[in-house]
A = this chain, B = another copy of it.
Amino acid sequence: MEERKKISMAVIRRLPRYYRYLSDLVDNDISRISSKELASKMGITASQIRQDLNCFGGFGQQGYGYHVDTLFSEIGKILGTQNNFKIVIIGAGRLGRALAHYPNFIKRGYEVTGIFDVSNTIIGSIINGIEVMNIDYLKSFTKLNKVDIAVLTVPSSSIRDVALLACEAGIRGIWNFSPKELDLPDDIVVENVHLSDSLMVLGYSLTQKND
């Protein structure tokens, strides 16, 4: 797997967006697209698309463009859709429960295998067909089921402890919904969803428009 050079995060973060647009094209039975056409749909330059895609190899064909199906599935592979990543949700509050029903887990090739909480009122209840377990069983469950990802929807006050627990349990990636930064070993991948940050950027833009 000889990597040519480090691919920048800026490129990686655009891949899911390409993936969505290609998914729409597939749905509309469009089989072929040029970088120029796609660029105009997405509001970016054709150059950027070609540069981005060529980080991963030449998916196109000169004089023709790109096969939509091929490109869609190639980007999917790059993003790991075929890995069947297994997920547990830790924290079965409102957000955790909403995510347990999140249809894109399935659509994007992920599988929710377990839900955990600390509260006795919640433990034992069924969410989307899965019984909420006591967090004490996280470690044994994770090992047994080879869980890859922990979705953390616990209160900020306990986020760091829970994150460490998940690491001890052998989790490899964390999808963090708390507004705290996690300082974890280098081999753990963390992806943050800082909702409040996003909201405040919206607040900033609105404030600008006021003036």
Contact = CB atoms under 8 A, between A and B. Distances in A.
A202 interface: yes
B189 A175 contact: no
Interface string A189-211: 10101111111111111110111
Contacts of A130: none
Given A187-B209, A191-B199, 14 more contacts: A16-B201, A79-B200, A85-B206, A94-B98, A97-B98, A102-B195, A104-B195, A108-B199, A108-B203, A148-B206, A149-B206, A173-B205, A189-B206, A189-B209
B189 A12 contact: no
Interface size class of A (residues with CB under 8 A): 35 or more
A8 interface: no
Question: Secondary structure of the A side of the interface?
Answer: helix
B206 A172 contact: yes
A73 interface: no
A124 interface: no
A199 B97 contact: no
A19 B108 CA distance: 33
A65 interface: no
A87 B107 CA distance: 31
A46 interface: no
B173 A206 contact: yes
B148 A104 contact: no
Contacts of A16: 194, 196-198, 200-201
Contacts of A144: none
A13 B201 contact: yes
Contact of A83 (B1, B94, B199, B207): B207
A146 interface: no
Interface string A170-195: 00110100011000000101010111
Interface string A96-118: 01100110110111100000000
